[in-house]
A and B are shown apart, each in its own frame.
Chain A
Amino acid sequence: MLLEAKGVSKAFGSFFAVRNADLTVAEGEIIGLIGPNGAGKSTFFNCLAGDTMPTSGTVSFDGVNLTGTTPDTHARAGIGRTFQVPATFEDMTVLENVVVGAHLHHPHRNDARRKALEVLEITGLARLADQRARVLGTPGRKRLEIARVLALEPRLMLLDEALAGLTPGEVQHAVELLRKIHGMGITLVIVEHIMEVIMTLAQRVIVFNQGHVIAQGKPEDVVKDESVIQAYLGRNHGKRRSGAGKHGSGA
């Protein structure tokens, strides 16, 4: 297994954002991590990336236990991640942003620059290389985040809502890019709460609700799962709908 999370829990005080979650990812997979808002996806995701230390459980990558190590150790091990709210380096140029990532495996500036230019070409950002990151819009920033991670030459890429906030056309572009990256032999774990995107991309889907993994399997099976429908639409959603009509409160 490339990535293995066992019994991961994260508690904030007495509240468990993630409780006893397991995840195994094989090399070359595309995994979708879905669930309604506040389900604990992002917290679990941050535990995988080393940004949040799990209260209990272990995270190992390619057989090496990474639990409790820093994010930069994760990066060196071969895990790259993007941020839900793009965290680009605003005052640096697009090229400089990517060079930071490229430096991980290319200590010398000329080599790092060459690698970064190569990545900008792949991600379609080459013509913006000398622009400052702050002038980019949301799609550009999300793309830049992916480019930065790609420059790390990772084996596993964790994408935290890399498609949220994009128009349908932009989503299409982004999906193409992700397919291209997958074609380069990089394993993908994608967090999304838009189901449609995951359905077209992921080979396997893990559904989170209230900190638990409530279902997993092929996308087409998961959407039919009763507990998943309940998580998204509420328990007995049929009854509640008719109840709302009776009381006349359509809100």
Chain B
Amino acid sequence: MKIGVPLLALAFLVFPASAWNIVGGYAGQVSVGHGMFFGIGAYVPLLVYQHGAWPPMLGVPIAIALSAILAVAIGYPTFRLRGHYFSMATIAIAELMRIYVGTVDYLGAAIGLQGPAVGRGWWDLTFRGELPYYYIFLGVLAILLYVTFEVQRSRFGSYLRSIRANERAAASLGVPVRQTKLRALMLSAAFTSVAGSLYSIKTGFIDPESGIGLLVSVQMLITAALGGAGTLFGPLVGALILVPLQSATNTWFGGSGSGLTYILYGGIIVLLARFEPGGLHEFWHRVSMRWRARHAA
């Protein structure tokens, strides 16, 4: 039980961050509103339970489809432009969604939605102990990392990295830039949605702040960027550092320090931007190169 809490916290950081990493890391299209996909994934399973008494699990594919559609709706117009338009659009839409969901009674408004208190069968995925959740998370995370690994070495991955490095040059080498970005966003949105579903099914509760809030979006970005955006294990490394940091600030400052997470994240952003935009992965690369150079000489 003692080790359980940090493990779950770790999973909830790694999973969405790895999903974000596909478009934000590999393709370099920094989304600051991935909470919208997480939110769709989190809300739909509890919605189908609350209004249709369906097992929450059945909401997962619906949420994936909705997230992919939203990804196209956002990506299609914004990916025509280079630069920060996409980032701006994602913040705006995520925030609009959060505010809107908070006003609609059908969606639980500001109070939120609840899942089944007691499972009616295994298909409700409502377990007493935590162990089953670990296996589910582990399984889904393994799939996500495998997909990322395959993407990384495929033509698709090569194209994503070229777009991140230099869009104009990529296009001159036959890379269909807009279409490639769009595919990356759809894939990323789908996995982020699954992460949201796992979260709401596990906790049995979702409200606008925990589902779509800015903190949800920023958390994915920071976790990936800290470890190394655009690398397979970057999000995992980032989460391994963030989880102890967060629990430390929570213990030191207790419940009164809920705004402190933002300050912590702000500090990390400043440090990364100033000293190591490539994250710890880049730092490690530099150190090991220097080490090798010294020992070769």
- In the assembled complex, which residues on chain B have CB atoms less than 8 Å from the CB atom of A149? 173
Q: Does chain B have a CB within 8 A of A72? A: yes
Q: How many residues of A contact B (CB 8 A)?
A: 30
Judge whether A89 and B171 touch: CB under 8 Å. Answer: no
- In the assembled complex, which residues on chain B have CB atoms less than 8 Å from the CB atom of A109? 153-155, 158
Write the nearest CB–CB distance from B105 to chain A, whole angstroms. 47
- In the assembled complex, which residues on chain B have CB atoms less than 8 Å from the CB atom of A99? 158
Do A51 and B172 form a contact, CB below 8 Å, given A89-B166, A103-B155? yes
Do A72 and B169 form a contact, CB below 8 Å, given A96-B161, A112-B155? no
- In the assembled complex, which residues on chain A have CB atoms less than 8 Å from the CB atom of B171? 51, 70-72, 75
Q: Which of A60-68, A80-88, A231-239 contacts B (4 or more CB under 8 A)?
A: A80-88
- In the assembled complex, which residues on chain A have CB atoms less than 8 Å from the CB atom of B154? 109
Do A72 and B161 form a contact, CB below 8 Å, given A107-B155, A109-B153? no
Q: Does chain A have a CB within 8 A of B70? A: no
Write the nearest CB–CB distance from B232 to chain A, whole angstroms. 15
A80 to B173 CA separation, bound complex (whole angstroms): 7
Judge whether A148 and B173 touch: CB under 8 Å. Answer: yes
Q: Does chain B have a CB within 8 A of A222? A: no
Judge whether B158 and A83 touch: CB under 8 Å. Answer: no
Judge whether B172 and A88 touch: CB under 8 Å. Answer: no
Task: Mark A90-101 against chain B: 1 for CB-CB distance below 8 A, else 0.
Answer: 111000100111
Q: Does chain A have a CB within 8 A of B174? A: yes
Q: Does chain A have a CB within 8 A of B176? A: yes
Q: Does chain B have a CB within 8 A of A152? A: yes
Nearest residue, chain A, Cβ from B154: A109
A88 to B176 CA separation, bound complex (whole angstroms): 18
Q: Does chain A have a CB within 8 A of B144? A: no
Task: Mark B147-175 against chain A: 1 for CB-CB distance below 8 A, else 0.
Answer: 00000011100110110011011111111
Q: Does chain B have a CB within 8 A of A114? A: no
- In the assembled complex, which residues on chain B have CB atoms less than 8 Å from the CB atom of A240? none
A149 to B155 CA separation, bound complex (whole angstroms): 17
Number of A-B contacts (CB under 8 A): 77
Judge whether A71 and B172 touch: CB under 8 Å. Answer: yes
Nearest residue, chain A, Cβ from B177: A72
A81 to B171 CA separation, bound complex (whole angstroms): 11
Within 8 A of B (CB), among A169-202: none
Judge whether B165 and A92 touch: CB under 8 Å. Answer: yes
A71 to B172 CA separation, bound complex (whole angstroms): 5
Judge whether A96 and B175 touch: CB under 8 Å. Answer: no
Judge whether A89 and B174 touch: CB under 8 Å. Answer: no
Q: Does chain B have a CB within 8 A of A25? A: no
Max count, chain A CB within 10 A of own CB: residue among B153, B154, B172, B278 = B172
Task: Mark A50-78 against chain B: 1 for CB-CB distance below 8 A, else 0.
Answer: 01000000000000000000111011100
Do A72 and B155 form a contact, CB below 8 Å, given A89-B161, A96-B161? no
- In the assembled complex, which residues on chain A have CB atoms less than 8 Å from the CB atom of B159? 100, 103
A99 to B153 CA separation, bound complex (whole angstroms): 11
Judge whether A104 and B173 touch: CB under 8 Å. Answer: yes
A42 to B162 CA separation, bound complex (whole angstroms): 23
Do A100 and B168 form a contact, CB below 8 Å, given A72-B175, A75-B173, A112-B155? no
Given A96-B161, A101-B174, A109-B158, 11 additional A-B pairs, CB 8 A = A72-B176, A87-B172, A88-B169, A89-B170, A90-B165, A91-B165, A91-B278, A100-B170, A103-B158, A109-B155, A149-B173
Chain A to chain B contacts (Cβ below 8 Å), 8 pairs: A49-B172, A51-B168, A70-B171, A72-B175, A87-B166, A87-B168, A91-B278, A92-B165
Chain B positions near chain A (C-beta within 8 angstroms)? 153-155, 158-159, 161-162, 165-166, 168-177, 278
Chain A positions near chain B (C-beta within 8 angstroms)? 49, 51, 70-72, 74-76, 80-81, 83, 87-92, 96, 99-101, 103-104, 107-109, 112, 148-149, 152
